[in-house]
C-alpha cells in the first residue's frame, strides 16, 4: 500500500508516494518519499534509492556534496540513482564479477554441501537467483545451487 502526500518541489506541488524500502547497498529498511514522476522508474528497478550512510559513502568523492554534507541530517537523507535503461543487465553482470558475489556464491555452495539442490550432482555448480528483487542483498531462500544441466532446464535451455 502506498501513502500519498503533496510536497512542494521547485515552486510547484507534486504527489509523492511514501514507501518502505531497503537500501540496495546495505539492505537496511527505511521510509522514503518517491515523487509521482519517478514512481514508474522505481517500480521497474531503474531507480535506486540508498540510505543516508550509504549515500554519504557513494558521494564521498563528489566535490559539491562535500561542500554541504555537514548541513545534512544523515538520518533523513537518501541518494537516488537512475540506471540507464540499457545498463541494468550490465550492472548485474558487473555484480556477478564482483568479489562480493564470488564470496556469496562460495558461501551458498558450501551451505548446500557442494551439491546441486535438485539432483545432488557435484559438477559444474551454478548459484541461481530465484528472485532478482534483492540483488546485492540476497535473503535466505533467494539463491539455489544448481548444476549446469539443472540450471539449463530451469531456464528452458535444455529439453
CA distance 70 to 15: 29
Domain boundaries, the chain: 3-83, 92-154
pLDDT in the model for residue 159: 44
Average pLDDT estimate for 13-19 = 81
Q: Which pLDDT tens digit goes with each residue over 112-130?
A: 999 999 999 999 899 999 8
Burial class (CB in 10 A: 0-12, 13-18, 19+), 145: buried
Using only C-alpha atoms, the chain has a radius of gyration, in whole angstroms, of 20
Provide the CATH topology of domain 92-154: 3.40.1800
Q: Which pLDDT tens digit goes with each residue over 21-71?
A: 888 878 788 888 888 888 888 877 778 888 888 888 888 888 888 888 888
Using alpha carbons only, what angle is made at residue 60 by residues 56 and 63, rounded to the nearest 5 degrees? 120
For the chain, the straight-line distance linking the first and the last C-alpha, in angstroms and rounded, comes to 41
Amino acid at each position: 500500500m502506498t501513502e500519498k502526500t503533496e510536497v512542494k518541489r521547485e515552486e510547484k506541488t507534486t504527489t509523492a508516494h511514501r514507501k518502505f524500502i531497503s537500501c540496495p547497498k546495505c539492505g537496511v529498511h527505511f521510509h522514503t518519499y518517491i515523487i509521482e514522476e519517478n514512481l514508474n522508474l522505481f517500480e521497474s528497478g531503474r531507480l535506486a534509492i540508498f540510505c543516508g550512510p550509504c549515500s554519504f559513502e557513494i558521494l564521498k568523492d563528489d566535490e559539491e556534496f562535500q561542500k554541504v554534507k555537514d548541513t545534512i541530517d544523515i538520518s533523513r537523507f537518501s541518494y537516488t540513482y537512475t540506471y540507464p535503461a540499457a545498463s541494468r543487465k550490465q550492472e548485474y553482470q558487473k555484480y556477478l564479477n564482483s568479489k562480493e558475489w564470488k564470496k556469496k556464491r562460495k558461501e551458498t555452495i558450501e551451505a548446500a554441501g557442494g551439491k546441486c539442490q535438485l539432483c545432488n550432482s557435484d559438477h559444474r555448480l551454478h548459484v541461481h537467483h530465484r528472485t532478482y528483487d534483492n540483488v546485492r542483498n540476497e535473503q535466505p531462500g533467494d539463491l539455489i545451487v544448481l548444476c549446469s544441466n539443472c540450471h539449463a532446464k530451469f531456464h528452458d535451455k535444455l529439453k
